Every structure is written in C-alpha cells, then in structure tokens.
Amino acid sequence: MPIKTPWASSMGQVPMQITAFDGSMYEAVRAAAQKTPHHTALCYMGKTISYKKLIQNIDHCAAALLALGIKQGQRLTIALPNCPQAVYMLYGANKIGAVANMVHPLSAPKELSFYLAESESVLVITLDIFYDKMRDAIKETGDTRLLITGAADCLGLPARIGMKLKQKTCLPKHILRWRTFLKCGSPTNEMPVKNREAVILYSGGTTGTTKGILLSNENLNSLAAQIIAANPMFVPGDRMLAAMPLFHGFGLGVCIHSILFNSGVCVLVPRFTPKSYIRDLLKYRCNFMAGVPTLFEALLRLKSPQNMDFSFLKGVFSGGDSLSPELKKRLDAFLTAHHCPVQVREGYGTTETVTACCLTPPHKAKESSIGIPLPGNFIKIVRPDTQEELPYGEEGEILLSGPTVMLGYMHHPEETAKTLQTHRDGRTWVYTGDLGVMDSEGFLYFKGRAKRLIVSSGYNIYPGQLENVLDAHEYVHRSCVIGVSDSYKMQKVKAYVELMPHIPATEETRASILDHCSKHIARYAMPCEIEFREALPKTPVGKVNYRALEEQEKEKE
C-alpha cells in the first residue's frame, strides 16, 4: 500500500492530512487580506502593494471584466511575465468565475494561435512588446479580443514616464489598453462566483501532444495548504523571490498562490539573469527562493562577492528537473559558505497535479532522493501501464494521488481516461510516465522517463511536436529530435534531419529550416543544432530509432 507521509511523526506539528480552503482562489487570498490588510503582498520593481490595495485592484479588474461582458465559465488568456497585471487578471477572472488560460508570452505565433483556439478564449492580455505577434495569432481565432498592457502600467508616474521614454511601442488607436480597460467598470461588492474550473496550464501528458490541463480551485488551494504545512518555519510576512513564471505550475502554485494564500510577500521578477537574481535576493532579503537546476548551475558560475550573507533564507527549493548529487553538493557548499542556515530541498511533481507532489523535508535528506509525499498526497510504484503495485526498492512507474490531481485534459477524454485511473483503493491515480523507486521510509527516487521528453532549463519539450514542425518544411524528408547533455541547461535540443532528394546539406538549407522553426516553436525549444544525415537509423519495424541517436551522442561525451 502507498505510504502516508512521515511529516507528522518526524516534525510533530505537521499534519498527515490537510484541509483545503472551502472557496475560490480569490476568496482564499481575500481571507488572507482581511487578516493582514496592511502587510505587503507584492513587490514589483521597487514598488510595494499592500494586501488591502491588492484586493482593491483585483476587484477593480473583476469589475472591468464584467463590464466587457466576460461571463462565468468563459476563458481568457494571460500571456504575461510575472507582473502585478498578471496577478490582478488571474484573481479578477477567478472572482467572476472565468477561467485563466496561462501561456508563455514568448511562445511562437502558431503556438499562441493554438492556445487561444484550444481554450476558446474570448480575451487575451499581453505586453505591448508582443503586440505584433499576438495580433498575428488572433487572426486565426476570429473573435478573441486583445488587451494590451505595458511594464510601466503598475508603476508610479515618474517611473511610467521613464519607461515610456525607453520603450517606444506604437500601437493602433483602437487597441484596448490597460488603463482604458480599468475605466470600463467600477469596483462593486458583487459576490464572488466559484467555478469548477479555475486555471488551464499546458503539458504534453504521456503522448507528447500539447494539451490543456484543467485545474480547479480546490487543486490550487490544496497545494497552498500543503506547501505551508510542509514548511512550518513560514510566518506571514515572509518573502518569496517569485522568479519562476506564472504560466508554469511551479511559479503559479508555489511562488504566487501559496504565498498570497498565507499572507506572504511575492517579490515579482518579470525577467532575470543569474546576476540580477542574486541582486534581488539580497536586496529584498527573501526568505524563500525556488528554481530549476539550470538556474542554480548559473548562480554557481557567477563571480560573486565573498561577503554575501544569505542568513535570512529559510527555504531553498529545486524542481522542474532532476538535481544531480554533484550539483546539490556544490550548491549546498555555496549556501553554507555564505551563511545560509539551510540546504537545498528537492521536489517532484507534474503539471497534472499543478506542480510538486513530494518534497524533501527540512529535517532529513537522502542522496538522490526527491523527497516524500506532501501532506495529504499518496505515491506508489507500479509495473508500467498496470495497477500492479511493486515492493519497496523495485523500479516502476510513479503514480500520484491527492487533492491536487487535475480535473482532466481539455478536449482529450481518451488521454484523460488513460492518465487518470481509479484503483480498487478508491483513489484516482495519475500515471506520470516517469520511472522511480520508493524506499521503506517513503522517500522517492527518480530514475528516468518512460515517455519521450526533453527538459531544458526547467521547460518540458516534446520531441514529437518539434519533429512535426521540421517535417513540414519542404526540404525535410524526415527528422528526429533528441535531448543532448549541456552543462548549463542540463539538456539542449538537437535535431537530426534527412533531406529530400537533391536538396544540398548547406548552411543556407540549415538557415531556411531554422527560420521555419522560429515561426512555430518557442525560443526555449528551438534546436541548438541541426545535423544532416543521409539516412536516419531505423527500428526493425521501420520507425526512426531515436534511442540509437541518443547512444551515439553519449559516446561523444
């Protein structure tokens, strides 16, 4: 049987189970604001926003959405970096029962068109610098209305003037701008509406085809309760460096909602470099920081001042990809050398469960382990694609269960039925497609992926999708995409291409293919290298043998 978490027996005050807030995400944050109205909720580019002002701004945004005719159950797309407007739209939509469709603002136009059409979004908000790209994306969807904001819209007048001098973005006069949008409606005392669906995030699932993941208010509120239950050192007013993006479950669930749910401070970071990340961490004396292994690797490469003091840190979390034992040791040594009282804690999860389902407890770590189930969660190991549970120490597929399990995939009932299965124990289990081992104390060890997946800088990249784009180019006969080792990104994308007859393997051909890719593939998923082959290796049944290419790359290392 799956193990209940040992949080309670090992930490005393931490419960084995959690009780989720019985309301919407908006109501949960409003309840926090009522307890601590004068506490800071958001920090953004030097400006602070109190909880009282946060709720006022969210209410104002909700009223403006209602004035535009947005109704309960309708979906709107938020294609923004971590900025106050994104937070206001997320919770403003939630208040009126609309669904927030969270997407990467750097997505290629074709990807944006897919996200808008798939979600049937009636409204999309993005930055002015992405106007041209979003305008082109909307052309294919028809009725989606466009709302434009800018980096300066939530700053004071002097800062806004300075930002406008730097950014000379010219937009057509008919485009709805943020400040005009807010004038559409006045805040009212209208009661919030709790919709079954709250948020849509995107993942490739087990097949590698991009699908919208439908998440509920209960999913996000349960995660917020779990995160704080597993971190009893947290107190209201503690600060989280919120650099992980809102369109990712890690950023949305851990860095934003869990903190606002519990009267913490979100230091919003819309864009960062390793150097600016350290600068913001020190400037705001953040108590918690979360990142992917790529970020931590980059931090260790910095020529940092020797007198940096991280004594204010209470929690350092790594997720999104496996943290190698070597990198963990170097990171822990770096933290200790700079007076940090804690070491990095690794977690694991999937977007199908919002984000983290297990986390290394603060009192005990095991080398190469990704932690124990969060309070209220269950994890078990089964023989892949079956319900046969395996003994401790035996490798199999990782299954997850608990209050953060998604409602399902949008428009993909067959894939939902394959991924979410109810067992004889009455629980609904997520089949992750990941391989792992559990020991007798409930510690989980990640062993690899049964599905084809590249994780680069914490982003999930699905080779099949990239191959479809490559194969659509007139020069390409067939292609194969794999992940190759990279000391910074952990993995980077490499494409092997078999050209059409009589097409030369020249730099001009390569440039044409890459230009085609840039119109359909997000920047973070672009191939860093294209290698031409006269013929790609095949399996006995005639499929491209991607594993043979992976082995050839390993031999080069």
* 103: pLDDT strictly greater than 90: yes
Amino acid at 176: L
Tell me how far apart the alpha carbons of residues 491 and 364 are, in angstroms, rounded to a whole number: 29
Residue-wise pLDDT for 226-277, tens only, equals 999 999 999 999 999 999 999 999 999 999 999 999 999 999 999 988 899 9
**57 and 175 fall within a common domain:** yes
Q: What interhelical angle do 217-229 and 25-35 show, nearest 10? A: 40
Residue 95 resides in a domain: yes
Q: Domain range spanning residue 212?
A: 23-346
Query: Cβ neighbours of residue 483 under 8 Å, at least 6 residues apart?
Result: 454, 455, 456, 461, 463, 491, 492, 493, 494
Residues, the chain: 557
Q: What interhelical angle do 84-95 and 25-35 show, nearest 10? A: 110
Tell me how far apart the alpha carbons of residues 100 and 146 are, in angstroms, rounded to a whole number: 15
Residue-wise pLDDT for 384-415, tens only, equals 889 999 999 999 999 999 999 999 999 999 99
Cα–Cα distance list, 142 to 70, 116, 122 (Å) = 17, 10, 10
- Reported as a pLDDT band with limits 50, 70 and 90, residue 515 is very high
Residue 406 resides in a domain: no
Residue 384 resides in a domain: no
CA angle 162, 281, 255 (to 5 degrees): 95
Residue 388 resides in a domain: no
- Reported as a pLDDT band with limits 50, 70 and 90, residue 10 is very low
Q: How many domains does the chain have?
A: 2
483-519 burial: b if 16+ Cβ within 10 Å, else e: bbebeebbbbbbbbbbbeeebeeeeebbeebbebbee
| Listed residues 309, 324, 346: the one ending a domain | 346
Residue 263 resides in a domain: yes
- Percent of the chain topping pLDDT 90: 66
Indicate if the alpha-carbon torsion angle 460, 519, 137, 466 is positive or negative: negative
**40 and 162 fall within a common domain:** yes
Q: 107-121, 164-178, 328-342 — which is least confidently predicted?
A: 164-178
pLDDT at res. 155: 76
* 162: pLDDT strictly greater than 60: no
**321 and 462 fall within a common domain:** no
Quick check: pTM over 0.75?
Answer: yes
| Listed residues 346, 361, 386: the one ending a domain | 346
Tokens found for residue 377: 């969660």
Contact present, 158 and 180 (Cβ < 8 Å): no
Tell me how far apart the alpha carbons of residues 449 and 539 are, in angstroms, rounded to a whole number: 20
| Listed residues 306, 331, 346: the one ending a domain | 346
Tell me how far apart the alpha carbons of residues 514 and 90 are, in angstroms, rounded to a whole number: 35
- Percent of the chain topping pLDDT 70: 91
The rounded mean pLDDT for the chain is: 89
- Reported as a pLDDT band with limits 50, 70 and 90, residue 545 is confident
Q: Which residues pair with 438 in a beta bridge?
A: 444
Amino acid at 310: F
Residue 10 resides in a domain: no
- Reported as a pLDDT band with limits 50, 70 and 90, residue 204 is low
**458 and 342 fall within a common domain:** no
What is the domain-level CATH number for residue 138? 3.40.50.12780
Residue 436 resides in a domain: no
Which phi and psi angles does 499 have, rounded to 5°?
-80, 160
Amino acid at 157: L
Q: 287-291, 329-333, 443-447, 464-468 — which is least confidently predicted?
A: 464-468
Residue 466 resides in a domain: yes
